[in-house]
Homo-oligomer: A and B are copies of this chain.
Amino acid sequence: MLVAMTEQAQRGRQRRRGEELEAALLEAAWQELVEVGYARLTMESVAVRAKTGVAVLYRRWPNKDDLVIAAIHYYGNTHPVEIPDTGSLRDDMIALLSVASAARVSFVAIITAAFSGLLSSTGLTPAQVREKVTADRPTWSADIFARAHERGEIDLDCIPPAVLTMPFDLMRHDMLMTYKPIPPERVLTIVDDLFMPLVARQTARHGHLRR
């Protein structure tokens, strides 16, 4: 079938075809999206980067928006974030924030696209877009917290939900503001100065006390 020849772009071939070509196109679109952003990404810039012509793009996707959406999807499916399991909550969080920050520049790309008018027609907010894209995937942090709970490191019943999402909220914030992965020092600050003090303090008050 198709798969017969796609494994290796063996030399001798001058033209890519099928899945191999499509992957190259989506990869090029993704790179453009990350490097120059949705607004300055053009069909031709993608074609040039993929070393082909715009017609090849239009044969697959009817317009720029669909190409970008496909590229985001492609990246999400081919670059899964693996959840660390170091044995301690602190190290798990440091590892997860680091790897997620490095790998998930995708989030910035999505938001860039969203803000630039990609979804002005749908009327979705970035949060809704994020939900849509990450709907199928399980939450990264859920496993880590569950394990920490089982180890007795934390008591999930006593920790307000906002505490658990805070590190990732801050990560997204920083990435949006700087366009870059979070530096290691910042990860340590988030974990050691903000997160751990809030989850470690199990004694005393029983979470959620409002008023």
Contact = CB atoms under 8 A, between A and B. Distances in A.
Contacts of A127: 177-178
Given A177-B130, A198-B197, A189 B162 contact: yes
Contacts of A40: 117, 120
One complex includes copies of this chain to the number of 2
A101 to B, nearest CB: 15
Q: Dominant SS at the A interface?
A: helix
A115 B117 contact: no
Given A117-B40, A170-B169, A207 B193 contact: yes
B176 A160 contact: no
B193 A197 contact: no
The contact size tier of chain A is: 35 or more
A197 B197 CA distance: 9
Interface of A: 36-37, 39-40, 111-112, 115-117, 120, 125-127, 130, 160, 162-163, 166, 169-170, 172-174, 176-180, 188-190, 192-194, 197-198, 201, 207-210
